[in-house]
Structure 1
Amino acid sequence: MSSSIALASARSTTGFGDARGRGARDEQGRIELLCKAGPDGAALGDCPFCHYVQMVLRYKGLRYRLIPLTPEDKPEWLVEGYGGKMPCLVHDEEAYTDSGTITQYLEYFFPGEEPLTVEDEKPELAEEVKTATSGVFGAFARYMKNMDKEQDPPLQAALFEELDKVDSFLQTTKGPFLAGERITLDDMALAPKLYHIKVGVAHFKNVIIPPSLTALAAYMQHMFDMDIFQESSYPPDVITWGWGNARK
Structure 2
Amino acid sequence: MTGKKGKRLAWLCLRMEKFTYEHIPENLVWIKHKKETVCTMAHGGVDNRTCERPLISATTQCSLFPNTEETAFKYPRHASHSLIEAGHDGENVGNCPFCQRLFMVLWLKGVKFTVTTVDMRKKPEELKDLAPGTNPPFLLYNGTLKTDFIKIEEFLEQTLAPPRYPHLSPLNKESFDVGADIFAKFSAFIKNSQGNAVHEKNLMREFKRLDNYLISPLPEEIDHNSRETMTISKRQFLDGDRLTLADCNLLPKLHVIRVAAKKYCDFDIPAQFTGVWRYLQNANEREEFKQTCPADIEIEKAYFTVANQRK
Work out whether 1:68 is the aligned partner of 2:117.
Answer: yes
1:178 to 225, 238, 244: 238
CA distance in structure 2 between the aligned counterparts of 1:139 and 1:23, rounded to whole angstroms? 43
- Give the equivalent residue in structure 2 for 1:52: 101
CA apart distance, 1:164: 0.9
Matched residue type, 1:211:
A
3-state SS of the aligned residue for 2:83?
A: strand
The 2-side partners of 1:28 and 1:164 are apart by: 48
**Counterpart pick for 1:117 among 169, 172, 190:** 169
Gaps of 5+ in 2: 1-17, 27-75, 222-234
Instruction: Decide whether aligned partners of structure 1 residues 155 and 73 sit closer, same or farther in structure 2, where only a CA change above 3 A counts.
Output: farther
2:182 match: 136
2-structure distance, mates of 1:108, 1:23: 16
Q: Is the 8 A contact 1:198 1:208 kept in 2?
A: yes
Instruction: Specify the structure having the higher radius of gyration (Cα).
Output: 2
What is the correspondence of 1:152-167 to structure 2 with a 5 Å cutoff?
153-167=197-211
- SS for the counterpart of 1:89 is strand
For residue 79 of structure 1, report the CA deviation from its aligned partner. Answer: 4.4
CA contact under 8 A between 1:35 and 1:69: conserved in structure 2?
yes
SS at match of 1:133: coil
Q: Write the mapping of 1:7-156 to structure 2, written as runs, cut at 5 A.
A: 21=21, 24=24, 26=26, 29-73=78-122, 75-80=127-132, 83-91=133-141, 93-113=143-163, 114-118=166-170, 122=171, 125-126=172-173, 128-146=174-192, 148-151=193-196, 153-156=197-200
* Count, aligned residues: 223
CA distance in 1 between partners of 2:22 and 2:207 (Å): 40
2:147 partner amino acid: T
Aligned CA distance change for structure 1 residues 91 and 135 (closer, same or farther; 3 Å)? same
Deviation of the 1:28 alpha carbon: 8.9
CA separation of 1:29 and 1:19: change in aligned 2, threshold 3 A: closer
1:116-157 Cα distance to aligned partner (Å, 9 max, x none): 113xxx5xx21x2233110011111111222x2222x11111
TM-score (norm 1): 0.79
CA offset at residue 89 of structure 1?
3.0
The structure-2 alpha-carbon separation of the partners of 1:22 and 1:92, relative to structure 1 and needing over 3 Å to count, comes to: farther
Please say if 1:200 is aligned against 2:260: yes
Deviations 1:35-82 (A, max 9, x none): 2221012221111111111111111222222233345455433343xx
Gaps of 5+ in 1: 1-17
Identity %: 25
For the aligned residue pairs, the C-alpha RMSD in angstroms reads 2.7
Q: Which has the higher helix share?
A: 1
Change (3 A) 1:25 1:70: closer
- Give me the whole-angstrom Cα distance separating, in 1, the residues matched to 2:291 and 2:83: 17
Mark the CA change 1:49 to 1:169 in structure 2 (over 3 Å): closer, same or farther.
Answer: same
Counterpart code for 1:236:
D
Between the aligned partners of 1:62 and 1:28, the Cα distance in structure 2 is 15
| Maintained 8 Å contact 1:30/1:64 | yes
AA paired with 2:236? P
Shift, 1:99, TM fit:
2.6
Q: Give the deviation of 1:219 after TM superposition.
A: 0.3
Alpha-carbon separation, structure 1, partners of 2:259 and 2:116? 25
